[in-house]
Structure 1
Amino acid sequence: MVEEGAPRPSRNPVAAIDCGTNTVKLLIGSMPEVAVREMRMVRLGEGVDTTGLLSAEALARCFAAIDEYAALIAEHGVPRDRIRFCATSATRDAANADVFAAGVQERLGVRPEVIAGHEEAALAFDGAVRNLRTPAEPPVLVVDIGGGSTELVLGTHAPEASISLDIGSVRLHERHLRDDPPTAEQVAACAADVDAALDAAEAAGVELGRAATVVGVAGTCTTIAAGCLDLPAYDREAIDQAVVPVSDTHAFIDRVVAAPVAERLRMPFMHPGRADVIDAGAVILDRVLRRTSVYSWTVSESDILDGIAWSVASRST
């Protein structure tokens, strides 16, 4: 019997953890039902672009979040073979990733999978496209802007062309946007870095101009959508599936990039852990949209985390 107030065990529950450069996220549920969805801003990739190492402080922040997640996973009765922990950009780049892996193993009993960029892209596409409430005109371009990397995936029901680019909100903010607010010269250098990466994406077959539908996922896109919608607070239900005009998006991006961090923090939908690096993420979204011919884009609250959960749920039980 489940005590009143205690979590009710799900049928064949899964636990998915997505550990990126800026955030670590948890989903628990029996897909498509979701019992728990949590996010912690841990900035695991802080300084990795410069040092090539995960710092002791960043590891401590991440491990504290994983300790909380381990307790939630135990409360919901998720067996170890139904837990999948995927680590992305920061741990791909870090020379001391073994320290991180050992800490995760100690806390959860599973090894983190440092997934390759192409798998990261496929999981992000699956999570986003499954969530669309109305059929999207193909081809669909999924844009997943993370802290250390950006995934671009073009396809219909499955990825047809994808790439993981070493541009992300934390990485490019640390590299270029050092003043508060950034100077015009710094923003131009950041945009040039993004454009060079997008040139490489196009050369690799991810033709952004072919996209008939653009779906943006993850925190940079959802926060920018909240700004375009002028929400009085971050509202997941209002943001999910919103269709945002591209012209409004460019206007809000100009505003948020030009604003000092203190002003961004006063925006009621802005997470404090994202306020300093949203400028670089916004530049990435701006440059991507300028290469498409769409007049609006759709924002999805389902992303790679949901893709990870579905990958576990689809295993034979």
Structure 2
Amino acid sequence: MRLGVLDVGSNTVHLLVVDAHPGARPLPAHSHKAELRLAELLDDSGAISAKGVTRLVSVIKDVLQAAEDKGVEEVLPFATSAVREAANADAVLETVREQTGIELSVVTGDEEARLTFLAARRWFGWSAGKLRVLDIGGGSLEIAHGLDEIPDAAASLPLGAGRLTAGWLPDPVPDPEEVRALRRHVRAEIARTVGDFARLGAPDHTVATSKTFKQLARITGNPRVLTLDALREWVPKLAAMTPAQRAALPGVSASRAPQLLAGALVAEAALELFEAAEAELCPWALREGVILRRLDHLPTV
């Protein structure tokens, strides 16, 4: 069957269309993205602005048309941190339902970590042993660890690259003290979770998903593995660059370039505090996890 996953994230609204059936690897058939940056469309009360809601509805309508054009049989719609943390989340969801017919399912941070872990486990297979999976989104950082398809521990922290950039690094080229302050904040937040994961023992593989990790791996010269040593070299370089200069780096898009420094600080802190010399990149993440969970509930005959 042809499935479409509608992901309303902090940075983008993304439709991923796959051809899939139980027991088989989902095959990508189409991808439709729209930059929305919901996390930047909040008013002073923390609510998504009227303009933001109008844009969200318009984008979802366009995405649904794309899904229809591609012959999608079922759309799996969900929203992550930007919507779930908005002060007017219920009203936004109701407006989307009334104007598009779509019932957005709000994924909790814990669910986000667990579904991303499921995708990584299926990608690497059982022989990979214990996995520790890290995912940096626009609004949050997800961490999960375990041996099976359901992680033994999972956490979601408010350390997304977009959120931190908006709140801590307002200038295109931040002041060094702003960078140091953000570095301290990120490390303090992650350090609170280290003990919970340390009790589970060291992983056999540290795995990284998400666009932020992929871009960092590309600029450090190895698209499959991000090493801590290489990341340490690049963090001060990124801090001294303008967004336009970052966008000129290999694999870095202009839309995400402003967020790359904050993402690098989170990635560096996570690898150091979890004592990982490197992270292996996984092309599957939350969207694939949603697809795999849906397929697991389909009849096999």
TM-score for the superposition, normalised by structure 1 = 0.84
One-letter code aligned to 1:54: I
Distance in 2 separating the partners of 1:312 and 1:122: 14
With over 3 angstroms needed to count, the CA separation of the structure-2 counterparts of 1:280 and 1:110, relative to structure 1, is same
Following TM superposition, by how much is the alpha carbon of 1:196 offset from its aligned partner in structure 2, in angstroms?
A: 1.9
Query: Per-residue deviation at 1:211?
Result: 3.1
Aligned 8 A contact 2:79 2:104 in 1: yes
Q: How has the CA–CA distance of structure 1 residues 164 and 35 changed in structure 2, closer, same or farther, with 3 Å as cutoff? A: same
**TM-score if structure 2 supplies the norm length?**
0.88
Deviation at 1:133, TM superposition (A): 7.2
User: 1:169 Cα shift?
Assistant: 0.9
One-letter amino acid of the counterpart of residue 34, structure 1: P
Residue identity opposite 2:247 in structure 1: L
Greater RCO between the two (CA within 8 Å, min separation 6)? 1
CA contact (8 A) 2:194 2:273 kept: no
TM alignment of 1:27-176, pairs within 5 A: 27-31=16-20, 32-46=26-40, 48=42, 51-79=45-73, 82-106=74-98, 108-132=100-124, 135-136=127-128, 138-158=129-149, 159-176=151-168
Matched, 1:200 2:189: no
Structure 2 residue 228 is matched with structure 1 residue 246: yes
Q: Secondary structure at the match of 1:70?
A: helix
For 1:252-267, list aligned pairs within 5 A: 252-267=234-249
CA separation of 1:266 and 1:209: change in aligned 2, threshold 3 A: farther
1:15 aligns to 2:4 (yes or no): yes
Change (3 A) 1:257 1:139: farther
Aligned equivalents of 1:248 and 1:283: distance in 2? 13
Task: Give SS of 2:290's match.
Answer: helix
CA RMSD of aligned residues (A): 2.3
- Offset from partner CA, 1:70-97 (integer Å, 9 cap, x none): 1121123333xx3211111111111222
Q: Equivalent residue for 2:269? A: 287
Residue in structure 2 matched with residue 308 of structure 1 by the alignment: 290
CA contact (8 A) 2:131 2:147 kept: yes
CA distance in 2, matches of 1:161, 1:310: 20
Q: What percentage of residue pairs aligned between the two structures are identical?
A: 29
Return the offset for 1:50.
Answer: 5.5
1:296 paired residue among 271, 275, 278: 278
Query: 1:298, 1:225 → 2: CA distance?
Result: 9
Matched, 1:181 2:173: yes
Amino acid at match of 1:308: V
- Partner-residue secondary structure (3-state), 1:175: helix
Q: Judging changes above 3 Å, is the alpha-carbon distance between structure 1 residues 92 and 49 closer, same or farther for their aligned structure 2 residues?
A: farther
The number of aligned residues is 292
Using the TM superposition, give the Cα deviation of residue 284 of structure 1 relative to its aligned residue in structure 2, in angstroms. Answer: 0.5
For residues 83 and 171 of structure 1, what CA distance do their matches in structure 2 show?
Answer: 28
Separation in 2 of the partners of 1:85 and 1:171?
22
Give the C-alpha shift of residue 278 in structure 1. 1.5
- 1:221 pairs, out of 213, 217, 222, with 213
Q: Which runs of 5+ in 2 are unaligned?
A: 21-25
- Unpaired runs of 5+ in structure 1? 1-11, 231-238
> CA offset at residue 38 of structure 1?
3.0
Give the direction of change, closer, same or farther, for the CA distance of 1:58–1:222 in structure 2 (3 Å limit): farther
What is the DSSP-based 3-state SS (H/G/I as helix, E as strand, rest coil) of the residue aligned with 2:253?
coil
